[in-house]
Amino acid sequence: MTEEISTRSWGSRIKDAFIGIFAGILLIIGSFVLTFWNEGHGLHRAQSLIEAQRVLISVPDAPVDNKNNLRVVYFSGLATTKDILTDSFLGIKENAIGLTRTVEMYQWKEYTETKTESQMGGSEKTTKTYNYKKIWSQKLLDSSSFNDQAGHQNPAAMPVESQQQYAQTVTVGDFLLPQSLIGEISETSPVNLSKVNLPAIQKQINKPVHYVNNQLYGGADYQNPQIGDLRIKATAVLPQTVSIIGQQTGNTLQPYMAKAGQEVILLTSGQESPDQMIHDALVENRIITWILRLVSLLAMVAGFSLILKPLVVLADVLPLLGSIMGFGTGLIAFVCGFVLWSIATAIAWFAIRPLWSLGIILVAVVVSYLFIMRRRQTQALNKTTQPAEADIKNNLSK
């Protein structure tokens, strides 16, 4: 563990805070753009899914009926392939839809903890604490950028990397699946590595190789891993039952372009009804929409926080005053951000959900009213307490 302490002057902080105003304005603009895009995309995605559900027909996976060409079809069946996938490093061949080699290397990882303290006079003291832990990672971690490189050096490269490959030809009955759907077949099974040529792999990675729990361990002792040791495993996507919704085009499928403007093509592993597939897609769409709503709200609040930041820095000449100002501007930033975000959402909804739009505007007005009334009550209370305190002081002086 190492520490790095740095200090920024008050003038430098003021300069950065005023520059941050422009970043805050950009965040607010970006939040507006994201809000409008997200609300439109979420609604059109839901409308497209419902439209596809309304017009789809259930068909057998064989034979393909040309009368259904360009119609939205649903079918379920066994996804199979005749392709043989080869991993030349492991020396294995699998009749599979997909083949994945996962390689992890034991490496150092740097963790940074930052603590910032305001100092008397407006300067700011920043203490960064660097901790180092050994972890298994598929990605090469560059130790040359570590703060403390001594004793925390990782290999410059991985002897072998992870790999993923898919069959070119996969069929369900008489239907030929497009590549976009092949990668969505998700159920995997471990590949047996007990018969791989360990000496050949040992030559390639220049390490002793052991077979442990259907994994290959590259290193002297798997119970006592050292930096640079490897763990290798393989999984395959074997033939399995899938359920599909898409637009029939000859003997294959393409995304259905709904009138709402979004493409619909769905695949799920296992036997699932079309209604359940559409329901799951609608739930996923709602989750994504709400996540992006939260992101746009946080961006709006962060934007106002940056705009108000100079007030906090100016008050930070006295750390206590800066803390009070920080709390106050934080509250103002949240209220302003929430109100403006609500208005942006209401505007985005107005053409398609006018009642919901008016409801959101009403909530924004209520929040603004409560905030303003609270501030007025606080100001009135301060005005009444000040004369009373003055009278008490006068009486005591007499």
The answer on 351 and 211 residing in a single domain is no
Helices (H) and strands (E) in the chain, counts: 6, 19
Point out the least confidently predicted range of 5-14, 194-203, 220-229, 269-278: 5-14
Q: What is the pLDDT of residue 5?
A: 86
Average the pLDDT over 208-222 and give the result: 93
The answer on 60 and 44 residing in a single domain is no
Query: Token match 């660097």: residue?
Result: 130
SS3 call for 260: coil
Q: What is the pLDDT of residue 298?
A: 95
Q: What is the pLDDT of residue 396?
A: 47
Average the pLDDT over 51-57 and give the result: 96
Average the pLDDT over 143-150 and give the result: 89
Distances, alpha carbon 275 to alpha carbons 112, 286, 309, in Å: 48, 17, 51
If one counts the domains in the chain, the total is 2
Strand partners, 87: 92
Q: What is the pLDDT of residue 368?
A: 59
Residue 226's Cα: distance from chain center in Å? 32
The answer to whether 102 and 201 are in contact (CB under 8 A) is no
Mean pLDDT of the chain: 88
The answer on 242 and 132 residing in a single domain is yes
Rounded CA-CA distance 205/171 in Å is: 37
Rounded CA-CA distance 278/261 in Å is: 17
For residue 258, what pLDDT band results from cuts at 50, 70 and 90?
Answer: very high
Rounded CA-CA distance 367/369 in Å is: 5
Q: What is the pLDDT of residue 392?
A: 46
Q: What is the pLDDT of residue 360?
A: 59
Query: Token match 């379920």: residue?
Result: 76
Q: What is the pLDDT of residue 323?
A: 82
Q: What is the pLDDT of residue 328?
A: 85
Point out the least confidently predicted range of 248-262, 319-333, 375-389: 375-389
- Nearest CA among 331, 394, 299 for reference residue 24: 299
The last residue of one of the domains, among 271, 302, 321, is 271
SS (HEC) of 132-165: EEEEEECCCCCHHHCCCCCCCCCCCCCCCCCEEE
| DSSP assignments along 317-338, one per residue | TSHHHHHHHHHHHHHHHHHHHH
**Is 394 within the bounds of a domain?**
no
The answer on 310 and 219 residing in a single domain is no
Instruction: Give the pTM.
Output: 0.81
The answer on 71 and 218 residing in a single domain is yes
